[in-house]
Chains A and B, each alone.
Chain A
Amino acid sequence: MNDPVEAGRILSHLAEIEVVAEEILSTRREIIDLDKQRNKTREAMRALQKEKKDNKVWLCTGNMFLKVENSKAVKMLSKDFEVLDAEVSKSRATLKPQVNKLRDLERKDELKGFNLVALTPEERKSVENLI
């Protein structure tokens, strides 16, 4: 540890690990926030569907209140919902390489079966009783 070169190397290695770990945490946070939004959107859509009459409704988007027609509001929300869904799967996809990178830096073995493609439900039936 007295060797300054060695100490610097260790320090930079630890910093590198910390950066990757931070990235993972922020992606996790992103997924949670997106899911929160997704669920709120879903709730709003359901509430609008229950509204019988096709009159105008107040819609709060971000910091703004809009008065729009019911059908238009539902359309806007469902569009939002789709975008959010795609965003969540995108974030999940980025999470995997990040975790792999962290494990690599920590000199741990790669997770087994991490990169496999999941079986389809039909395919799963043939081995269902085993799993």
Chain B
Amino acid sequence: MAAPTAEKVQEIREVTRIERIGAHSHIRGLGLDDALEARQVSQGMVGQVKARKAAGVILEIIKDGKIAGRGILIAGQPGTGKTAIAMGMAQALGTDTPFTSIAGSEIFSLEMSKTEALTQAFRKSIGVRIKEETEIIEGEIVEVQIDRPATGTGAKVGKLTLKTTEMETIYQLGQKMIESLTKEKAQAGDIVTIDKATGKITKLGRSFTRARDYDAMGAQTKFVQCPEGELQKRKEVVHTVTLHEIDVINSRTQGFLALFSGDTGEIKSEVREQINSKVAEWREEGKAEIVPGVLFIDEVHMLDIECFSFLNRALESDMAPILIMATNRGITRIRGTQYTSPHGIPIDLLDRLVIISTSPYEEKEIKQILRIRCEEEDVEMSDDALTVLTRIGMETSLRYAIQLITASSLVCRKRKGSEVDVEDIKRVYSLFLDESRSTQFLKEYQQEFMFNEMVPDEMETS
């Protein structure tokens, strides 16, 4: 049952990912130069020079793998690029360093406890680098010769001639190898690898020199260069897996399928302890390296006091990742208590964090961001329209202005225009209310809405 599913998963992997245009899809990195100075406009990032530079310094420390179990708080007003900075850090880290991004409210799930959800997020952010080593024979098949015994039954024997650009040799084949060769349909001109330990044959493709053997061939025929060098090679592959993945695979009840279905449920703490000790053992023997990754918690003020005390403790563990949090709150009540605290985070946790603050964008920067977004969303916009949109962005919010881009381009397309004009912007501005105009409207017509007798004090429930 497991085998066909595994094959299916392989198939899915080969499909190229089509990315939809997300709110931060224009971010390619932090936009820093080699001296960690932030360029004004680079890699989709605009302004926030100080915050980006600070993030760059932290990034360098993460890359060195020097610090673990540190916390960083990105604080700033809404729409000042907090998430963008975190995304930029993730992009700059590359694929080798695990990066997990969750929203603060994500951990409140009915299926698992808050601490379990946090633990899983923590373990998803810690990578383990391991190496596998295989002896393989890699070469182009010159000739396969299989002798059938005269009687028709009995063991077949055969010869396999393999070559690289440097050498050529003959292998005597036994019954098993002949079977796997016929199963793979390997023939002269194919490039194959043979795993020495298991005898497994893998076809890599056909040799370029044989490209003209046939006129018609399947679309999936892949041509590869004849391998260079020695026939018997040692292949070393380095993998980075996360602790969470190892957890799931070794948590007996689900098996590895749970990884793909996403329904992992709770993992027993004994399993985790075993894995921790195993990984520690590997590290001791030089078989594994720990890669502390990054856990990003957006809207961190949504966590409650229990989570914060859990974070406090979890950060002190020797296998903790770098914790980056973002919040847009000022001095506010800590969730689950009656106490207020800066950013809605208890003082004792705040004490362990370094804080990066972002400041509101200036008009010039907003214009630049809007221009980048226009490019990202494939919208042509005239300079006047962009200026108008920038003003809207200044007076309302950056997010509202960004939302108007696609809307106005649709209006423009409807009138068969090629470029978004001031008129289009005006039209969508009148169609869609921003937050302050909506509030204004509600204040004026409050009497005509339902349940309007609610006293403001009662509305604040949590």
Q: Give the docked Cα–Cα distance between A32 and B165 (Å).
A: 11
Asked whether any CB of chain A lies closer than 8 Å to the CB of B213, the reply is: no
Interface residues of A, dominant DSSP: helix
Asked whether any CB of chain A lies closer than 8 Å to the CB of B170, the reply is: yes
Q: Which residue of A lies closest to B169 (CB)?
A: A39
Cross-chain contact of A130 among B166, B172, B197, B241 (Cβ < 8 A): B241
A118 touches B236 (CB 8 A): yes
Known: A112-B96, A126-B250. A35 touches B230 (CB 8 A): yes
Asked whether any CB of chain B lies closer than 8 Å to the CB of A75, the reply is: no
Tell me how many residue pairs across A and B have CB atoms closer than 8 Å.
87
**Across-interface contacts of A4 in B (CB, < 8 A):** none
Stretch of B75-83, B124-132, B143-151, B332-340 lying at the A interface: B124-132
**Across-interface contacts of B6 in A (CB, < 8 A):** 129
Q: Give the docked Cα–Cα distance between A46 and B160 (Å).
A: 13
Cross-chain contact of B238 among A88, A113, A123 (Cβ < 8 A): A113
Known: A35-B231, A35-B232, A116-B289. A130 touches B129 (CB 8 A): no
Q: Which residue of A lies closest to B229 (CB)?
A: A32
**Across-interface contacts of A118 in B (CB, < 8 A):** 131-133, 236, 287
Cβ contacts B150-169/A at 8 Å (1 or 0 each): 00000000000000001101
Known: A112-B96, A112-B129. A131 touches B237 (CB 8 A): yes
Q: Give the docked Cα–Cα distance between A117 and B289 (Å).
A: 10
**Across-interface contacts of A123 in B (CB, < 8 A):** 282, 287
B233–chain A nearest beta-carbon distance, Å: 9
Cβ contacts A27-61/B at 8 Å (1 or 0 each): 01001101110111011001000000000000000
A107–chain B nearest beta-carbon distance, Å: 12
**Across-interface contacts of A38 in B (CB, < 8 A):** 232
A129 touches B287 (CB 8 A): no
| Residue of B131, B241, B286 with most partner-chain A CB within 10 A | B131
Cross-chain contact of A113 among B129, B167, B250 (Cβ < 8 A): B129
B167 touches A39 (CB 8 A): yes
Interface size range of chain B in the complex: 35 or more
Known: A28-B229, A46-B172, A130-B249. A113 touches B166 (CB 8 A): no
Asked whether any CB of chain A lies closer than 8 Å to the CB of B288, the reply is: yes
**Across-interface contacts of B132 in A (CB, < 8 A):** 118-119, 124, 131
A126 touches B249 (CB 8 A): yes
Known: A32-B166, A40-B169, A130-B246. A117 touches B285 (CB 8 A): yes
**Across-interface contacts of B129 in A (CB, < 8 A):** 112-113, 116
Cβ contacts B1-13/A at 8 Å (1 or 0 each): 0000010000000
B237 touches A36 (CB 8 A): no
**Across-interface contacts of B278 in A (CB, < 8 A):** 126
Q: Give the docked Cα–Cα distance between A14 and B73 (Å).
A: 45
Q: Give the docked Cα–Cα distance between A121 and B236 (Å).
A: 14
Asked whether any CB of chain B lies closer than 8 Å to the CB of A79, the reply is: no
B50–chain A nearest beta-carbon distance, Å: 28
B229 touches A43 (CB 8 A): no
Interface residues of A in 67-119 (CB under 8 A from B): 88, 92, 112-119
In addition to A36-B230, A40-B169, 19 A-B residue pairs with Cβ atoms within 8 Å of each other are A31-B230, A32-B166, A35-B167, A38-B232, A39-B231, A42-B169, A43-B169, A43-B170, A112-B96, A112-B238, A114-B238, A116-B129, A116-B238, A119-B282, A126-B249, A127-B249, A129-B249, A129-B259, A131-B237
| Chain A residues engaging chain B, CB cutoff 8 angstroms | 28, 31-32, 34-36, 38-40, 42-43, 46, 88, 92, 112-119, 121, 123-124, 126-127, 129-131
A-B complex: 3 closest residue pairs judged by Cβ atoms? A118-B133, A113-B238, A35-B230
